[in-house]
Chains A and B, each alone.
Chain A
Amino acid sequence: ETGVTQTPRHLVMGMTNKKSLKCEQHLGHNAMYWYKQSAKKPLELMFVYNFKEQTENNSVPSRFSPECPNSSHLFLHLHTLQPEDSALYLCASSQDWGTSGKQETQYFGPGTRLLVL
């Protein structure tokens, strides 16, 4: 029980589809993250939200659109994706983001395995 859940666990979509990934954390954390994990590549940080405000966007294409309605929920809306977007998308949370001199431990969900056809 990691305290971070993600749905769906698997998703297959066409390039013209619109879908959303959902993440929920039950840890009382204030910061939430989206990462992309592609085969044989390091994890890539996509977005960070702290207290529902987006604080980081690492040059992610606009076909990925995050939404954070509250500190417990994070969504990733997908539209007109490309086959190279196929990957494992991981959500994580931590107590806070960017507290000076302190690195908060991040807790990860199980991920959504996305296949774009």
Chain B
Amino acid sequence: AQSVTQLDSQVPVFEEAPVELRCNYSSSVSVYLFWYVQYPNQGLQLLLKYLSGSTLVKGINGFEAEFNKSQTSFHLRKPSVHISDTAEYFCAVSESSARQLTFGSGTQLTVLP
């Protein structure tokens, strides 16, 4: 069965600093991986996704993530964050043979001035 672990529930970082939000998954088969962002009082918005091909995936708002099969990780990175990046970030996984998305419990990113 697939599962997702987001190792940090809260990540505070200063504006213009780099950030990495960690995501590890558990699955014995091929997977699809997603990062979603949820701004306050809003629904989830897709940041980026890995389906196949290049392991480095670029998304919106300057975010990117790297799929590492050997470490079963899909960490999200941004080289320089802005105040407007303050939000909750969710990692999600779906096995290629499954149809459901399994979400992690989320990481609250707070960008400080």
Contact = CB atoms under 8 A, between A and B. Distances in A.
Contacts of B34: 105
A34 to B, nearest CB: 12
A94 to B, nearest CB: 10
Contacts of B41: 110
Interface size bracket, B side: 20 to 34
A6 to B, nearest CB: 8
A42 B4 contact: yes
Interface string B1-44: 00010000100000000000000000000001010100001111
B61 interface: no
Contacts of B89: none
Interface string A13-50: 00000000000000000000000000011110100100
A116 B100 CA distance: 28
B104 A42 contact: yes
A107 to B, nearest CB: 7
Max count, chain A CB within 10 A of own CB: residue among B99, B101, B103: B99
Given A56-B99, A97-B99, A103-B96, 17 more contacts: A2-B43, A2-B45, A41-B105, A42-B4, A42-B102, A42-B103, A43-B103, A45-B101, A48-B99, A56-B100, A92-B43, A101-B96, A105-B34, A105-B49, A108-B43, A108-B44, A111-B43
Interface of B: 4, 9, 32, 34, 36, 41-46, 49, 51, 90, 94, 96, 99-106
Across chains A and B, which 3 residue pairs bring their CB atoms closest together, nearest first?
A108-B43, A98-B99, A103-B32
21 contacts: A42-B4, A42-B90, A42-B104, A45-B101, A56-B100, A90-B44, A92-B44, A98-B99, A101-B96, A103-B32, A103-B51, A103-B96, A105-B49, A106-B101, A108-B36, A108-B43, A108-B45, A110-B41, A110-B43, A111-B42, A111-B43
Interface of A: 2, 4, 6, 40-43, 45, 48, 56, 90, 92, 97-98, 101, 103, 105-111
